[in-house]
Amino acid sequence: MNITYKENTLTVDEYLSIESKMEDMDKTTKEQAERSLSNHVHSISAFVEDEIIGIGRLIGDASIYWCLVDIWVLPEHQGQGIGREIVNKLLQHIKNTSIKGTSVSVFLMCAQGKEGFYRKLGFRCRPHEYEGSGMELEMDIE
Ligand SMILES: CC(C)(COP(=O)(O)OP(=O)(O)OC[C@H]1O[C@@H](n2cnc3c(N)ncnc32)[C@H](O)[C@@H]1OP(=O)(O)O)[C@@H](O)C(=O)NCCC(=O)NCCS
């Protein structure tokens, strides 16, 4: 199967389309997706012919802090190295665009049971010897 990857072309329709096909995914509104995509730093999209089958996005300040979000591969295409390729391309973007000679922080909130996938890509779980837990506050906006 021929997989092609595109850099920073992800559209709102593509985003909502792949989200609707992922299992157990919260549904994002179109307005939320529009604002989110216009503010992210970079994206990778994977295609089989015209169908989008995987994505990954980078958010952050594009200098010190980089955060991986929405690393998604459609269930029928999982286990073929596509997720790894998407993350590696996002990490390459960070290497290509960060200020030379600096150290940067790349982090993510891991979905349950996916730790092994990210460990193979060089990430370590928190808490660990030197740092505490990642923390999250989910807010309902009235
Ligand atoms: C997590 C996800 C992106 C992985 O993508 P994928 O294309 O299936 O993964 P890959 O085929 O690139 O796997 C790369 C390596 O990670 C391993 N791996 C994949 N999922 C794993 C898991 N859950 N636990 C441990 N190892 C895993 C693979 O075996 C492979 O190992 P190898 O290099 O020794 O062959 C995909 O399963 C997915 O979209 N899941 C649903 C959405 C989700 O939870 N995303 C993560 C949000 S934090």
Summarize pLDDT for 23-67 with one digit per residue, the tens: 989 899 999 999 999 999 999 999 999 999 999 999 999 999 999
Nearest CA, atom 21, ligand 1: 117
Angle at CA of residue 59, ends 57 and 60, nearest 5°: 160
C-alpha–C-alpha distance, residues 20 and 27, integer Å: 7
C-alpha–C-alpha distance, residues 85 and 81, integer Å: 6
Note if the pTM is more than 0.95: yes
Q: Map out the domains of the chain with their CATH numbers.
A: 3-119 (3.40.630.30)
Summarize pLDDT for 86-138 with one digit per residue, the tens: 999 999 999 999 999 999 999 999 999 999 999 999 999 999 999 999 999 99
Q: How far is the CA of 142 from the centre of ligand 1 (A)?
A: 35
Closest ligand 1 atom to 85 CA = 12
Closest ligand 1 atom to 82 CA = 7
